[in-house]
Amino acid sequence: MPSTRNRFNGPVFAFAVLVLSVIAYQTHAMRTMAMMQPTVIATLDLEKVFGQLQEVNVAEKVLENEIMVLVEANKIAEETIKALQADQEDFPPGGQKFEEIEDRLMRAAYAFKADVDYIKGYKDRRNAEIVRAIYLKISDAAKQVAEMRGVDIVLVDDSIIQVNPGTLVDVNRQIAARRMLYTNPNLDLTVDVVNLMNMN
């Protein structure tokens, strides 16, 4: 009675091993060739990108309007303080009415200062949100441009920043923070990134 097991087929097995070996060799060869290709590096002037983006101007105007609304609301509190100060002059110090107005003045002044602090904090927080959001968009746009131009690495160009005079400590600190001494302008992606982002 013949066995129910599949019989070992030597030629088929040998052919399968040969095919797998060829595929493995081709994969290794392609990886080796990819590693031998020179890395393409480009630069980006981040400050210039921020300065030329329409989105930055729009965001700054929106924030400016938000701050104006808050400042106008705070002016009402300021006028309330002035009115209370004028009313207080009508009463002798130490009297009950004078003390009532004094209490209201202290409350109004505290609320006014709290509003001023809030506006300052709100402006700082919103500015941080805007810069972070736009930075992430710049990063994404730089990636798109790099992929279109066959660039592997995009570096922020700090060679354009001047080393300002100062004490030895100041100058050394600036030099220590420097990552690039020179970049070829032909490798700069700034204009392409700005154009891509302003089109969207």
Q: What is the CATH number of the domain that holds 99?
A: 3.30.910.20
Q: Is residue 7 part of a domain?
A: no
Q: Is residue 10 part of a domain?
A: no
Overall average pLDDT of the 176-181 stretch:
84
Domain that holds residue 43: 39-199
pLDDT band at 148 (very low <50, low <70, confident <90, very high): very high
pLDDT at 120 over 90: yes
How far is the C-alpha of 49 from the C-alpha of 189, rounded, in Å? 10
Q: Is residue 92 part of a domain?
A: yes
Q: Is residue 4 part of a domain?
A: no
**DSSP SS3 for 41:** strand
Q: Total domain count for the chain?
A: 1
Q: Is residue 55 part of a domain?
A: yes
Q: Report angle CA 32, 156, 136 to the nearest 5 degrees.
A: 95
Q: Is residue 152 part of a domain?
A: yes
Q: Is residue 136 part of a domain?
A: yes
pLDDT at 143 over 90: yes
pLDDT at 68 over 90: yes
Mean pLDDT estimate for the chain: 84
148 backbone dihedrals φ, ψ, rounded to 5°: -70, -35
Taking residue 151's Cβ as centre, other Cβ atoms within 10 Å add up to 18
The region, left, alpha or beta by phi > 0 then psi within -120 to 50, assigned to residue 83 is alpha
pLDDT number for residue 25: 62
pLDDT at 130 over 60: yes
For residue 74, give every residue at least 6 positions away whose Cβ sits within 8 Å of its Cβ, in sequence order, or none.
112, 115, 116, 119
Nearest to residue 148, comparing CAs of 199, 193, 197? 193
Q: Which two structure tokens, joined as six digits, stand for 162?
A: 């001047």
Overall average pLDDT of the 144-149 stretch:
94
Residue with tokens 């700082």: 124
pLDDT band at 11 (very low <50, low <70, confident <90, very high): low
Overall average pLDDT of the 48-53 stretch:
94
pLDDT at 13 over 60: no
**CB contact at 8 A, 46 and 159:** no
pLDDT per residue as tens digits for the range 91-119: 888 888 888 888 888 888 888 899 999 99
Q: Which two structure tokens, joined as six digits, stand for 110?
A: 């505290």
What are the DSSP calls for 66-109, one per residue?
Answer: HHHHHHHHHHHHHHHHHHHHHHHTTS-TTSHHHHHHHHHHHHHH
pLDDT band at 35 (very low <50, low <70, confident <90, very high): low
Q: Is residue 141 part of a domain?
A: yes
Q: Which two structure tokens, joined as six digits, stand for 112?
A: 């006014």
